[in-house]
Amino acid sequence: MRISMICLTCFSLSVLLFFGTATAFGENSPSQAKGNYVTWPWQVAVNQSSTPEIQAAASRLSKSLKSKWGSIYKANKNPGCCLWIEVGTWTPNPGEPGYLIVIQPGGALLMSTNTKQLNLAIDRLTKIKRIQGENTMLPVGVITSYPVISEK
């Protein structure tokens, strides 16, 4: 029951944030041409059994996003309403190492094949984030090191 209430609260806040920031971008805004950016209030989270190297990378991302939470969140599974990091939960074989980031107003998932790819993903997020006043803005959508096969 408590988890349901937390998720409902997070969802409600994300809807408010999404519509609040979506209307802030005018039709001729350069940010609209490159995708919709939303305020990112959520904490960076990892599995509590993550290695110290993964936790250090998550802390670096949290600082880069100027998280008001201060530290990373550790949990047994993705709690939602966060930027959840998974490393090595999938490795294409045959295939190439890489990363996939899915960002929505109410949460995000960053999956990478290894810590090298995790650090590349963090570097990419750090480059594309925007700072607006005291808020960090992230683009809604998919970011990947893999070729994109098709779009809408």
Helix axes 52-64, 115-128, angle to 10 degrees: 0
What is the pLDDT, as a whole number, of residue 14?
38
Q: What is the pLDDT of residues 26-85, one digit of tens each?
A: 333 333 335 699 999 999 999 999 999 999 999 999 999 998 887 899 999 999 999 999
Superfamily of structural domain 2-144: Chitobiase/beta-hexosaminidase domain 2-like (3.30.379.10)
Question: What pLDDT does 9 receive?
Answer: 35
Q: Where are the domains of the chain?
A: 2-144
In tens, the pLDDT along 70-113 reads 789 999 999 999 999 999 988 788 889 999 999 999 999 999 99
Question: What does the alpha-carbon distance between residue 22 and residue 36 come to, in Å, rounded to a whole number?
Answer: 7
Which carries the bigger pLDDT value, residue 116 or residue 67? Answer: 116
Euclidean distance between CA atoms 30 and 40, whole angstroms: 19
Question: 119-142 burial by CB neighbour count: b if 16+ within 10 A, else e?
Answer: bbbbeebeeebeeeeebbbbbbee
Q: For residue 134, which phi and psi values (nearest 5 degrees)?
A: -100, 5
Looking at residue 12, its pLDDT comes to 35
What pLDDT score was predicted for residue 127? 97
